[in-house]
Copies of this chain bind each other. A is one copy, B any other.
């Protein structure tokens, strides 16, 4: 039996890593008059569908996918949420 999961993946820069894009956005916002905004940090938000026989296997795959493709473990952290969206029972 295969289940399909929606994965919501957050990739963020580690707190110790400088974020030039975030600094640029904050600077732009200040020039627009938003001087009440600080500490802008820009990361990635990825959604995908993953099919697996069990949730544990899906989580293992996602850990590998994040470490190998979606995040740079040296400078980025990631976390994800899994939501089961569909279960396909095999035809007997």
Binding site for B on A (CB under 8 A): 10-12, 22, 25-26, 28-29, 32, 34, 36-52, 61, 65, 68-70
Inter-chain contacts of A51 with B (CB < 8 A): 36-38
Not counting A26-B48, A36-B50, A42-B45, a sample of 9 additional A-B residue pairs whose C-beta atoms are within 8 angstroms of each other reads A12-B47, A22-B46, A25-B46, A34-B61, A34-B65, A36-B51, A37-B49, A39-B49, A43-B47
Determine if B47 and A41 form an interchain contact, defined as CB atoms under 8 angstroms apart: yes
Instruction: State in angstroms the CA–CA spacing of A36 and B2 once bound together.
Output: 10
Instruction: State in angstroms the CA–CA spacing of A68 and B33 once bound together.
Output: 12
With A25-B70, A69-B28 in contact, do A39 and B48 touch (Cβ < 8 Å)? yes
Inter-chain contacts of A65 with B (CB < 8 A): 29, 34, 37
Inter-chain contacts of A37 with B (CB < 8 A): 48-51, 61, 65
Instruction: State in angstroms the CA–CA spacing of A12 and B22 once bound together.
Output: 18
